[in-house]
Amino acid sequence: MDLSNWRGAPRPERVTLQGKYVRLEPLSEATHGADLFSAAVEPGADDRFRYLPNTTPPDYPTFADWLQKSEASIDPMFFAVIDMRTGRAEGRQALMRIDADNGVAEVGHILWCPGIARSRVPTEAIFLMAQYIFDELGYRRFEWKCDNQNLPSKRAAERFGFVFEGIFRNHLVVKGKNRDTAWFAMTEEDWKLVKPAYLAWLDPENFDSNGQQRSKLGTAATRS
């Protein structure tokens, strides 16, 4: 691949990404704080925070402090995940480790709360972010990393079309414990192959009246 004319890509901006089922908005404590706190502390919170760098918030002031710091951050750049059915913020995710010179970014700090679990929302939230990175900004690579013990995250990465690339042993110390990191990525070439599968899966005709899928997301099959 000849990249002699490559001059880098623009840095992501705090934009709103609108889909059919979800809207990604730049994170705001004033706008999203109450909804996000309520969603974050629903039953099972400790399991959802297990592999995240922060812990289950004990109270709103503590959570608001984290939100305000995250709102001001440009890397990671946080987005609230808004369920279009309810208009409520039901999660968050971030673009991080942004390397505009080489056209690489990672999705991380993902927290999808019970209100959107096992729904169309998380899938479209990843689709919107990948579409922004590849189609609008012209990036070459989009990464997903997680604790190697986090089996649900690894399964999700593969379902979303990210390719497993290996294990980085003794990669991080998180909450006083070693983290071996499972490394996944989607290249611009991968995106061209998996994007049609996303579009087909997200089509309203693929869901029944209860929002249940008729066909599974076929990103792996499409790429092969």
Q: What is the mean pLDDT of the chain?
A: 96
Helix/strand/coil for 29: helix
Q: Which of 95, 90, 99, 127 is nearest to 202 (CA)?
A: 127
pLDDT of residue 171: 97
- With a pLDDT cut of 70, the percent of the chain lying above it is 98
Main-chain dihedrals φ then ψ at residue 122, nearest 5 degrees: -60, -40
Sole residue written with tokens 């096992």? 118
Q: Which of 38, 19, 28, 216 is nearest to 124 (CA)?
A: 19
* CB-based contact 145:108 (threshold 8 Å): yes
Residue 210: pLDDT band by 50, 70, 90 thresholds? confident
Q: At what angle do helices 188-202 and 120-131 cross, to 10 degrees?
A: 140
Measured between alpha carbons, how far is 177 from 20 in angstroms, rounded to an integer?
Answer: 39
CA 55 vs. chain centroid, Å, equals 18
Measured between alpha carbons, how far is 137 from 12 in angstroms, rounded to an integer?
Answer: 7
Higher-pLDDT residue of 142, 209: 142
Helix/strand/coil for 169: strand
Residue 221: pLDDT band by 50, 70, 90 thresholds? very low
Measured between alpha carbons, how far is 93 from 87 in angstroms, rounded to an integer?
Answer: 17
CATH 3.40.630.30 matches 17-206: yes
Helix/strand/coil for 134: helix
Question: Model confidence over 32-87: pLDDT tens digits?
Answer: 999 999 999 999 999 999 999 999 999 999 999 999 999 999 999 999 999 999 99
Residue 222: pLDDT band by 50, 70, 90 thresholds? low
